[in-house]
Amino acid sequence: MAVEAKADEPFDRPVSAVLASAVKRRAANERSGGVARVEWLLATLFGGSPAEAALAALRYQLLTATAGAVAEAARAGVGRVVVLVHELRTPKTIGARLARNQADLDAFVRRLSNGAVPSVGAREVRGPIRLPAPSASGVELFVGKARRDVV
C-alpha cells in the first residue's frame, strides 16, 4: 500500500517537466539516471514511453507512488495493491488547488484504467485496475481517496 498525503500542494510537476529536467542533468553528467527512471516508471505502469502526450501530462508524484507500490507487490508476489491519496482540508487550504489535485488524480486514474475508472472521489476505493504493462501482470491495483477535514 502506498499513501500520498496532501493538503493543497500539487502532485509534483508533470512527467514532461521532470523528463526535461532529467535530460538537462544527463547533458551535464552522462551518468545521471533521471531519464532512465522516468522511462522505467512509465514502462512499469503503462508499457509506454514519455513521448506519449497522455503520459507526459500526468503528475510525477502519482506515477512514482503507484509504480513503486506495484513493483513492490510484484516483487513480493502480492496480487493486490492499494494507492491511497489522503487529502487534508483545513481553513487554509485553497479550493482551486484542491480542485486541481482532484483533476490530476482523475486524469491519472482514467489513463491507468484506459477510461474504465473516470474518477476517484473522497471516501472511495476504485478497482481492480489491471495494468497493461507486462511487469505489472498479475497485480490488481486499487486507487482510493480519503479526506480529512481538520478544523
Locate the domains of the chain by residue range: 2-149
H or E stretch covering 82: strand 80-89
Contacts of 19 (CB under 8 A, 6+ apart): 34, 35, 38, 50, 56
Beta bridge partners of 81: 141
- Asked if pLDDT for residue 136 goes beyond 90, the answer is no
Tens of pLDDT, residue by residue over 53-100, are 678 889 999 999 999 999 899 899 999 999 999 999 999 999 999 999
CA distance 112 to 115: 8
| Under 8 Å between Cβ of 98 and 148 | no
